[in-house]
A and B are shown apart, each in its own frame.
Chain A
Amino acid sequence: MNRLKHNWLICRTVADVTYKEWSAYRTHSMVSIIVGPVYFMVQYFIWTAVYGDHASLGGIGLPQMIRYFGATALLGYLIMDFADWNLSMLVRTGKFLTFHLRPIHHRSFALFQKIGHRSLGFLFEFLPCLLIFIFIFGVDMRPASFPWTILSVVLAFLMNFYVNYTIGLTSFWLVQSGGIRSAFMLVSGIFSGALIPLDFFPHWLQVLQFFLPFQYMAYLPAMVFTGHYSLGGLELSIQQAVGMQAVAVLVTFGLNELVRRLAMKQFTAVGA
């Protein structure tokens, strides 16, 4: 119990300090207030043109599609992460050594930092964009189920973090993991469903997504938000979908731990 309390105190402190640190750059976050609505507007016109006379495409109607893109845009602000870049920088410069000297696991430290950083994102990116979507674009941004959507977003947050951290760990072998990072961002951009709902993909690619981490970061939480989840011919209730997402997060955490242990054997503290 004491240990839990102690960890909570560390988490709160690291998150708080990160929040304050990044608050100095809050106007940077506020770039999203322009960028988010511009991207959303482009998606809005693209899909309005594409739907034309079609009532639905890929089993999705135009209003649901607009809600979907609104949800993925907002979700991005809540789960955004650069733990991979940070870890890569620490390894390259040799500064990772300082974390070996601290009485805290670096992964936990990075996770707490992310909590602080995204709390700022919630205030300066998520909320303003939510209000713009509702009051300027007139999009209905009420989730089908509040508790399940929140749980799904938390799981997406963890999934994104563990995957990114695993990518960052490749720096222990490659020193510069920028290439791997770009590769992941590219594949993730396509298969997370942020560009287009996964229902539009060929059936075999939809089935493949169950075994890859991408859909758990955007498509699944966005569909939980809209209240209807189906992929690869499999229709799941919201509860089942979130349950599946939780299992995926646990598996990813396990893989991350495995890679971390292997990576520690590579660590030289020299940098490059």
Chain B
Amino acid sequence: MKRYLEVYKQCMYSAVQSAAAYRMNFIISSLITLVGNILFPLVTLLIYRAGTSFPGWSLYEVLLIQSVFTMSSGLSSVIFGGVLWTTMSHVREGSFEVVLLKPLNPLFFIVATTFSTDSIGLFLGGVSLFIFSAVHVGTIPALNWLQFAGLFAVGTAVLAGLSLMMAAMSFKWVGNSRISELADSVLHIGKYPLPIFPKAVQAVATMIIPVGMVGFLPASALLGRVHASDYAAVLPCFLFLAVGVWIYRHMIRLYEGVGG
């Protein structure tokens, strides 16, 4: 375990050094991501500015959902964001053997070596928006914070599972740089209050592809809007992550090394 932590620390250090090689690009990218995520809820702002709303949700409550979503996406991108692109690149070039030859768990190696400094701006953008909206939704009891922390971690696990599934897909769908769009499109549902969607979509978004856990449910916990039954969605999230890990490892076994 100590060895794995040491490797991860070293990989983080390398990622920072690598970003420092193109400082200007890194600074601009981080700033843009930061500003971009502050601007991300612009659609919501404009909708409320036009005098309408998402039924039953105030502006700051919706912003809270979107900020939690952004924080979770940012954290997941920092840790797992590069897995898809690196796996895809190795499979396309037929060089995944380089990973398999390392004296480490291949999945851990890929995760550690793809630590993404680019996404730090995304996380910080989410944090800024989160502080802004949390201040405006009124006092939040300590118990709600505790529930939020738990559900936030579960939401990040969903994103990790999704990243691994997309990366696993790249073993068969060789070189398809648009695989991530599949995940992004589904995740779009998690940026808005789930009750605006039909029941069937809500069921899918909590039990099958639990994107509701990424933004909506943790924010609802903070607002004291979760019911005991909502916690039933936690199990599918862990299952989702487990399936992601299993599929990725299974696809490694199917790797043919021919490129594409």
Docked complex Cα distance between A34 and B166 (Å)? 14
Select the stretch in A130-138, A174-182, A257-265 that faces chain B. Answer: A174-182
Q: How large is the interface on B (under 10, 10 to 19, 20 to 34, 35 or more residues)?
A: 35 or more
On whether the beta carbons of B52 and A52 are closer than 8 Å, the reply is yes
Closest Cβ–Cβ distance, residue B46 to chain A (whole Å): 4
Contacts A38-B186, A179-B24, A182-B33; A50 near B53 (Cβ below 8 A): yes
On whether the beta carbons of A57 and B52 are closer than 8 Å, the reply is yes
On whether the beta carbons of B189 and A25 are closer than 8 Å, the reply is no
Select which of B35, B50, B192 is within 8 A of A46 by beta carbon. Answer: B192
Most central of A27, A51, A177, A179 by chain B CB within 10 Å: A179
**Could you give, for residues 21-52 of chain A, a 1 whenever the CB lies within 8 Å of some chain B CB and a 0 otherwise?**
00001011001101100110010011001111
> Which residues from B are CB-within-8-Å of A34?
182, 185
The chain A residue with its CB closest to the CB of B49 is A200
B236 interface residue (CB < 8 Å to A): no
On whether the beta carbons of B25 and A176 are closer than 8 Å, the reply is yes
On whether the beta carbons of A196 and B43 are closer than 8 Å, the reply is yes
Docked complex Cα distance between A39 and B188 (Å)? 7
On whether the beta carbons of A28 and B177 are closer than 8 Å, the reply is yes
Docked complex Cα distance between A45 and B192 (Å)? 10
Docked complex Cα distance between A52 and B189 (Å)? 19
> Which residues from A are CB-within-8-Å of B188?
38-39, 42
> Which residues from A are CB-within-8-Å of B198?
45
Chain A binding site: helix, strand, loop or mixed by DSSP?
helix
B1 interface residue (CB < 8 Å to A): no
> Which residues from A are CB-within-8-Å of B39?
186, 190
Q: How large is the interface on A (under 10, 10 to 19, 20 to 34, 35 or more residues)?
A: 20 to 34
B94 interface residue (CB < 8 Å to A): no
Docked complex Cα distance between A51 and B52 (Å)? 7
The chain B residue with its CB closest to the CB of A180 is B28
Most central of B33, B173, B178 by chain A CB within 10 Å: B178
Contacts A28-B178, A179-B28, A186-B35; A195 near B43 (Cβ below 8 A): yes
Contacts A50-B53, A195-B43; A183 near B28 (Cβ below 8 A): yes
> Which residues from A are CB-within-8-Å of B36?
182, 186
The chain B residue with its CB closest to the CB of A199 is B50
Docked complex Cα distance between A58 and B22 (Å)? 44
Closest Cβ–Cβ distance, residue B211 to chain A (whole Å): 11
Select which of A35, A42, A51 is within 8 A of B181 by beta carbon. Answer: A35
Docked complex Cα distance between A177 and B43 (Å)? 27
Closest Cβ–Cβ distance, residue A91 to chain B (whole Å): 13
The chain A residue with its CB closest to the CB of B28 is A179
Docked complex Cα distance between A174 and B25 (Å)? 8
> Which residues from A are CB-within-8-Å of B26?
179
Contacts A27-B173, A49-B196, A54-B52; A178 near B47 (Cβ below 8 A): no
Docked complex Cα distance between A31 and B179 (Å)? 7
B176 interface residue (CB < 8 Å to A): yes
Report A's interface with B, CB cutoff 8 A: 25, 27-28, 31-32, 34-35, 38-39, 42, 45-46, 49-52, 54, 57-58, 174-180, 182-183, 186, 190, 195-196, 200-201
17 further interface pairs, Cβ-Cβ under 8 Å (given A50-B52, A57-B51, A57-B52) = A27-B176, A35-B181, A42-B192, A45-B197, A50-B47, A57-B50, A175-B22, A176-B22, A177-B25, A178-B29, A179-B25, A182-B29, A190-B42, A196-B42, A196-B43, A200-B50, A201-B46
Report B's interface with A, CB cutoff 8 A: 22, 24-29, 32-33, 35-36, 39, 42-43, 46-47, 49-55, 173, 175-179, 181-182, 184-186, 188-189, 192, 196-198, 201
Q: List 11 A-B contacts (CB under 8 A).
A: A25-B176, A28-B177, A31-B182, A50-B53, A57-B51, A174-B24, A179-B27, A179-B29, A182-B36, A186-B36, A200-B50
A-B CB proximity, top 4 nearest: A179-B28, A49-B196, A38-B185, A176-B25
